[in-house]
Chain A
Amino acid sequence: NAGVTQTPKFQVLKTGQSMTLQCAQDMNHNSMYWYRQDPGMGLRLIYYSASEGTTDKGEVPNGYNVSRLNKREFSLRLESAAPSQTSVYFCASSDDSGYTFGSGTRLTVV
């Protein structure tokens, strides 16, 4: 089915470990986003990419890096995970009518 695919769905990291969250969309959308969702905070934008080859910081970029590998793929990297990065992460892509979200990655940093 068309949409946004995120991997992995679950991950447990130790403090200081690194990992990359993968995201791919097959809707030919130009814009892609990474959000984190925390209780009482809603969805907060980490980074976004308005088009292939461009990335920009969102509301909470510290501790993260992103790569817009091509039009389909937008990855999020944690270089040195911290417990404060325990969250649910959503990737999304958009066209003029709105966003399509992936199903989320639940990350726990211990």
Chain B
Amino acid sequence: DQQVKQNSPSLSVQEGRISILNCDYTNSMFDYFLWYKKYPAEGPTFLISISSIKDKNEDGRFTVFLNKSAKHLSLHIVPSQPGDSAVYFCAASAIDGQNFVFGPGTRLSVLP
């Protein structure tokens, strides 16, 4: 059973609009979360993180929201750009910050 779920395999958004990527987890011990972005033929690259002491973290066009009671986090990209088209992975870890569990990924396509 997957501990980290990204229930939308793919998402298409028009350029300039908001992209919302969702992630749900089942393990209540998880308290540190990362989003990674992956282009074809490249390794995943770190995008943004959030720890359980916060419910929001913002970095430029990217904002991650965490709802611990619902075991849910989301990544918002505003405004979306064609260069944001990639696969986005959500990852979660317990207190030690290691051994992250990754979700299956969501492929985002931003249409010009």
A residues adjacent to B (C-beta < 8 A): 4, 31, 35, 40-45, 48, 50, 58, 90, 92, 94, 96-104
B42 in contact (CB, < 8 A): yes
Which A residues touch B98, using CB under 8 A?
31, 48, 50, 94
Q: B96 → chain A, closest Cβ, in Å? A: 9
> Which chain B residues have a beta carbon within 8 Å of chain A's beta carbons?
4, 6, 9, 34, 36, 41-46, 49, 89, 91, 97-105
Cα distance, A43 to B90, chains bound together (Å): 10
- Please, could you name 19 A-B residue pairs with CB atoms under 8 Å apart, sorted by A? A4-B43, A35-B102, A43-B91, A43-B102, A44-B102, A45-B101, A48-B99, A50-B98, A58-B99, A90-B43, A94-B98, A97-B46, A98-B46, A101-B36, A101-B44, A102-B43, A103-B42, A103-B43, A104-B42
Measured CB to CB, the closest approach of chain A to B98, in angstroms, equals: 6
Closest to B104 in A: A42
The secondary structure that dominates the B interface is loop
- Kindly identify which residue among A31, A98, A104 contacts B49, using a CB–CB cutoff of 8 Å: A98
Q: Which of B9, B36, B49, B104 has the most CB of A within 10 A?
A: B104
User: Whole-angstrom distance from the CB of B110 to the nearest CB of chain A?
Assistant: 21
Q: How close is B78's CB to chain A, nearest CB, in angstroms?
A: 23
